[in-house]
Amino acid sequence: QSVLTQPPSVSGAPGQRVTISCTGTSSNIGAGYGVHWYQFLPGTAPKLLIYANSNRPSGVADRFSGSKSGTSASLTISGLQAGDEGDYFCQSYDSRLVNWVFGGGTMLTVL
Amino acid sequence: QLQLQESGPGLVKPSQTLSLTCTVSGGSITSPNSYWSWIRKSAGKGLEWIGRLDTGGGTNYSPSLRSLVTMSLDTSKNRFSLNLASVTAADTAVYYCAREGVDDFGDYYFESWGRGMLVTVSS
């Protein structure tokens, strides 16, 4: 059971927009710790998509955006492409567990 | 561009020690303010942070694994290592090494990852 809660799957057609949620508690996201997002594609190294809630590293397309409010955060992917199909994970820090924590992951299917 | 590559045995027997190495290229593991982590992904527990090293060899381990984990730096070969003792089938996972980044608020994230290596614990 992961500390941060994500939907198991989301889907969308090419060109559409999807949003993946990440829900935490008062000891992690709600405590003000940053939320970061990662993309896992088959056969490649995991990739940092968003750090500190809404910041994109250099080289990440502006189709990817993040936001945070209260005890939850979201990753939005616009202009879906077939190459976006894979797993997406959120991550934060938990002061009660004294540990970095992750969401259970969301599988994105591009229809 | 920084690249990380995990290596080691893909099969470990129960009760033995899992040993993995992460070789870093395109940058030095002794770069100031660098932290190097191990993370694993399993079907049962999802993604789990195992621990981290700083450039001086200082360590910080997950509370749930602290008694079983040892990490070390090899600056001469620009690599770092993970040892996980007394493994069981529950330790079967894809193991990743990663370099941490830090944001303006002091929150750490994993900015560069290796491709990961599947380690199976089985007799």
Are A52 and B109 inside 8 Å of each other by CB?
yes
Q: A46 contacts in B (CB within 8 Å)?
A: 96, 98, 110, 113, 116
Is the per-residue pLDDT at A62 higher than 90?
A: yes
Q: Do A52 and B103 touch (CB under 8 A)?
A: yes
- What's the confidence (pLDDT) of residue B106? 86
In three-state secondary structure terms, B91 is: helix
Tell me the pairing of strands A36-40 and A47-50: antiparallel
In this complex, is the C-beta atom of A96 within 8 Å of any C-beta atom belonging to chain B?
no
Tell which residue, B102, B109, B49, B122, has the closest CA to residue A49.
B109
Is residue A8 within 8 angstroms of chain B, CB to CB? Answer: no
**DSSP state, residue B37:** E
Q: What is the DSSP string of A48-85?
A: EEEBTTTBPPTT--TTEEEEEETTEEEEEE-S--GGG-
The CA-CA-CA angle for residues B79, B85, B87, to 5°, reads 115
φ/ψ (deg, to 5) at B14: -55, 140
Asked if the C-beta of B104 comes within 8 angstroms of chain A's C-beta atoms, the answer is: yes
- Model confidence band, residue A27 (pLDDT cutoffs 50, 70, 90): very high
Residue of B nearest to A106 (CA): B46
Residues B39 and B60: their CA atoms lie apart, in Å, by 13
The dihedrals phi and psi of A83, each to the nearest 5 degrees, come to: -70, -5
pLDDT score recorded for residue B89: 95
Lowest-pLDDT range, A19-23, A55-59, B30-34? B30-34
In this model, does residue A23 exceed pLDDT 90? Answer: yes
Residue A1 pLDDT more than 90?
no
For B90, the token pair is: 């529950």
pLDDT tens by residue, chain B, 123 residues: 899 999 999 999 999 999 999 999 999 999 888 899 999 999 888 899 999 999 888 999 999 999 999 999 999 999 999 999 999 999 999 999 999 998 888 889 999 999 999 999 999
pLDDT tens, position by position, A80-111: 999 999 999 999 999 999 999 999 999 999 99
Residue B32: its pLDDT value, please? 87
Find chain B residues with C-beta within 8 A of A55's C-beta: 103
pLDDT at A22: 98
Gap between the Cα atoms of B117 and B115, Å rounded: 7
Q: How many CB atoms lie within 10 A of CB A54?
A: 16
Tell me if A102 sits within 8 A of A89, measured CB to CB.
yes
CB A10 within 8 A of CB A106: yes
Q: Which residues in chain B touch residue A101, judged by CB atoms under 8 angstroms apart?
A: 49
Which residue from A68, A66, A81, A76 is spatially nearest to A19, judged by alpha carbons? A76
